[in-house]
């Protein structure tokens, strides 16, 4: 009798552990964990792009666009906001700061950047405002 009870408890515990493991692997959000862990892999190695962010050859350069070996051209990091450009984050993208996470990323040309427009008037900013308005309703 005790042997059967012990076996039943052991099988129940093992089943529970396996079920929780499967839920954690397949749907981490159900257990309160971050849902994007399967999409993002953290790595200590830096992609090649990051090595080119602060290059010695650009130290005294005041150009708005910098030559980059991987992207061909990129904007100057830490460029302040002006009526026609910026602000740029540490990587040279048109952000006030590098976001920790992004739900939507826009990739494009001068239309996406918003040449000759303040950042609040480019189409990604308009899209963000529209999404926030729709989400608040």
Give tens-digit pLDDT for 4-17: 899 999 999 999 99
Interval 61-94: pLDDT, tens: 677 787 777 677 778 887 887 777 888 888 788 8
Write the burial class of residue 94 (CB in 10 Å: 0-12 exposed, 13-18 middle, 19+ buried).
buried
DSSP state of 35: G
Minimum mean pLDDT range among 22-26, 48-52, 88-92: 48-52
Return the residue matching tokens 């971050």: 34
What gap in Å lies between CA 67 and CA 81, rounded to an integer?
A: 21
Q: Is pLDDT larger for residue 58 or for residue 120?
A: 120
């Amino acid at each position: 009798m005790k042997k059967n009870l012990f076996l039943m408890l052991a099988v129940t515990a093992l089943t529970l552990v396996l079920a929780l493991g499967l839920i954690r692997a397949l749907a981490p959000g159900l257990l309160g964990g971050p849902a994007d862990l399967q999409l993002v892999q953290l790595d200590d190695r830096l992609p090649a792009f990051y090595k080119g962010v602060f290059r010695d050859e650009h130290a005294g350069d005041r150009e708005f666009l910098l030559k980059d070996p991987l992207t061909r051209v990129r904007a100057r990091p830490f460029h302040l906001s002006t009526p026609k450009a910026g602000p740029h984050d540490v990587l040279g993208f048109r952000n006030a700061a590098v976001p920790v996470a992004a739900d939507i990323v826009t990739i494009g040309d001068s239309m996406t950047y918003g040449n000759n427009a303040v950042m609040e008037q480019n189409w990604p900013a308009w899209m963000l405002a529209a999404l926030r308005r729709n989400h608040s309703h």
